[in-house]
Structure 1
Amino acid sequence: MKSIFSSISLLLSLSVMSCGSYAQDDVPIPDGPYLGQTPPGSTPEIFAPGIVNTEEFIEIQGMFGADMNTFYFVRRDEKEVYSLNVVEYKNNQWQQSIVKQGVSAPSISPGGETIYLNNSYIKRTSDGWSEPKKHGAPFDDIDIMRLSASSNGTYYFDTFTPKTMDTPIRYSRLINGKYEQPKSLGPQFGIGRYNAHPFIAADESYIIFDSVREGGYGRSDLYISFRAADGSWGPAINLGDKINTAHSEKNPSLSPDGKFIFFSLRTKSGNEEVNINWVDAQIIETLRPKL
């Protein structure tokens, strides 16, 4: 299934380990949306095998950019070096490149102009992407794994506090050009061993995240919470056994057209095997509370 695409991906990656980015004029990607892939139904499938997901490396944390002509993902090489990669349609052809090395847990702004990387971010420029910049106050002393932003600039993020009873998912609104002190999103986001890697809908109507808690199906599951009309957040709802397995599901994102959920599936530990999967996003409407 991965055949020649894996070999090409390997050659591309090995040729750029010492540089910040590269371009390939002839990435063999089929024509059509979603990198030419046949969309899945309610059962998750591996996304773009041999193009994004390879046998040689570990690929995690995939997401489409706002224009749907860019797909970003993290790849870990045999030296355990992480890099943010992109497959993009440019100059009438698909190209693959490394955006930034040594980073992980990305999320992209709804407009596609900013990529958030833990406690920093990069901005799109006329020449590519800027150097990482810190978020600054009030986030300087917060150990953020993943930050996700809504259309109005509100930040939603996890906090790496595994040995405390602290609520690990918080939010901070942009008020008069400055971010307020982070606030708890609610006690339902602090249940279990951890709650992490949030993805906030652009309109803030729901949030998807991964968590290890009682009643789950595996090592970590994907959950969703919907925002009520009064601004409060509803209970964390497990996405169910069609998506969650006995393994570990993490790092959710939604395609900008709202049609597909992307997430990482880790099926082994130690000699790990991780793939970026995708599935029909209709599950969101199925779980949404009826008014």
Structure 2
Amino acid sequence: MPSIVRHTLLFAFAALAASPALAETLPGELLGPGTLSTAANETSATFSADERSVYFMRGDYASADTTILVAERIGTGWGRIRVAPFSGVWRDSEPHISPDGKRLYFVSNRPPAPGAPPVTTTRAGQRFPGANLWYVDARDTGWGEPVHIAGAINAVASVFNPSQAASGNLYFSSVREDSNGVNQLYMAEPLGSGWFAPRRLDVGLGPKANRMDPAIDPQERFLLFAGNEGDSRGAADIYIVFRDAQGGWGKPIALPGEVNSVWLENAPTLGRKFGELYLTSMRPRMAEYPKRQPDRVGDIARRMAEPLNGSRNLWRFDISSVLREHGIED
């Protein structure tokens, strides 16, 4: 089975919202159907520097129980799927491998120090597993021991989706004192072996809009994120924002074509090749009515066991044309 199977899902609503030319130039490809993308929830694909390994999160439909997995490229497909050596005990998610391939960041609710309690957060009077940023460094024999990021970044219990630039600047989303009660995008500059206090990125509609899941270009020329800037087709779309002439951020642009749908899209990540975008989408296989044959119980069970059952799956897109339109060539 090929690692990426071309899957041209054209939705009626999306077709109305996007021009045919853009829809044809940005077709989506389901990543590893049946192996990487399954009936469970999968998000946050990130690749080793040699592109031989992919790390990603798999969990239940509510993403209440999540684990980081790794798969190896075998021929044109993916195999040897297993739990990452640092995962499988706590609620781990959102892996990200640094541009040089020497460090893997991830999110976890595990205790920040020996003897400490797990990280928790409170919403609507109920306690839930929290989220802090961790990392593991590459060793000759594999990944080292997980390290909790000390200091201001993890001063709160809702820190998500790390993404690092080649400069060492660390981007993430978080709910913090200045985030207006919703997720916002933040960046922390490196300081020795740690980072300065993070600062909120002022983009788009400002703190009144919910923004998640930053994916930074290694050279920091553009940033991708999930959210709704007032023109989202679904619960959340993938936006791109480019650096302006003053070094700030321009207006967020919802990515065209099939990248966004009337379903939820989130967790964008950048591949190792120019213009290679991975994301998570809940888009299902669209049914045609009336059905050719009435459903049997087994038919329903079979559809629910397939990737395109409304769960989150991993998708690949090529946004190189969008980047070139904004003067980015490699």
Class of the TM-score when normalised by the shorter of the 2 chains: 0.7 to 0.9
Aligned to 1:23: none
Q: TM-score, normalised by structure 2?
A: 0.68
Q: Given the alignment of the two structures, is residue 227 of structure 1 paired with residue 243 of structure 2, yes or no?
A: yes
Q: Does 1:149 align with 2:177?
A: no
Structure 1 residue 213 displacement after superposition: 3.2
1:21-170 to 2 correspondence within 5 Å?
Answer: 35=3, 42-55=26-39, 57-77=40-60, 81-89=65-73, 95-99=80-84, 100-101=87-88, 102-118=91-107, 119-142=133-156, 143-161=158-176, 164=180, 168-170=184-186
Summarize deviations over 1:153-177 as a string: whole Å, max 9, x none: 1011111259826771111111455
Provide the C-alpha distance between the structure 2 equivalents of 1:255 and 1:189, rounded to a whole number of angstroms: 28
Among all aligned residue pairs of Structure 1 and Structure 2, give the percentage whose two residues are the same amino acid: 23
Query: Any idea what the Cα deviations from partners look like across 1:37-69, whole Å, max 9, x if unmatched?
Result: 6698611121111221123x2222212222111
Q: Which amino acid aligns with 2:173?
A: D
**Deviation digits for residues 202-258 of structure 1 (CA, Å, limit 9, x no counterpart):** 111111000023111111000011113432111111112531111111001111112
Tell me the number of residue pairs that the alignment of Structure 1 and Structure 2 aligns.
253
Counterpart residue number, 1:19: none
Aligned partner (choices 237, 258, 272) of residue 256 of structure 1: 272
Unaligned runs of 5+ in 1: 1-28
Contact 2:6/2:30 (CA < 8 Å) preserved in 1?
A: no
TM-score by length of 1: 0.76
Q: Which consecutive unaligned segments of at least 5 residues does structure 2 have?
A: 9-24, 108-132, 285-308
SS in 1 for 2:240: strand
SS of alignment partner, residue 285 of structure 1: helix
Aligned to 1:275: 313
Q: Is the contact made by 2:274 and 2:320 (CA closer than 8 Å) also made in structure 1?
A: no
Within 1, Cα distance between the matches of 2:258 and 2:266? 15
**Contact 1:169–1:190 (8 Å) recurs in 2:** no
When residues 133 and 150 of structure 1 are mapped into structure 2, their CA distance, relative to the original with a 3 A threshold, is same
In the alignment, the residues of structure 2 paired with residue 85 and residue 177 of structure 1 have an alpha-carbon distance, to the nearest angstrom, of 27
Displacement of 1:283 in angstroms is 4.3
Structure 1 residues 182, 285: CA separation in 2 closer, same or farther (over 3 Å shift)?
same
- Further displaced range: 163-172 or 232-241: 163-172
Distance in 2 (CA, whole Å) between partners of 1:76 and 1:283 is 33
Equivalent pair of 1:199/1:209 in contact (CA under 8 Å): yes
Instruction: For residue 130 of structure 1, report the CA deviation from its aligned partner.
Output: 2.5
Could you tell which deviates more after superposition, 152-161 or 72-81?
72-81
Matched residues in 2 for 1:187 and 1:36: separation?
Answer: 33
Task: Give the secondary structure class of the aligned counterpart of 1:145.
Answer: strand
The structure whose Rg is larger is: 2
User: Equivalent residue of 2:323, what SS?
Assistant: helix
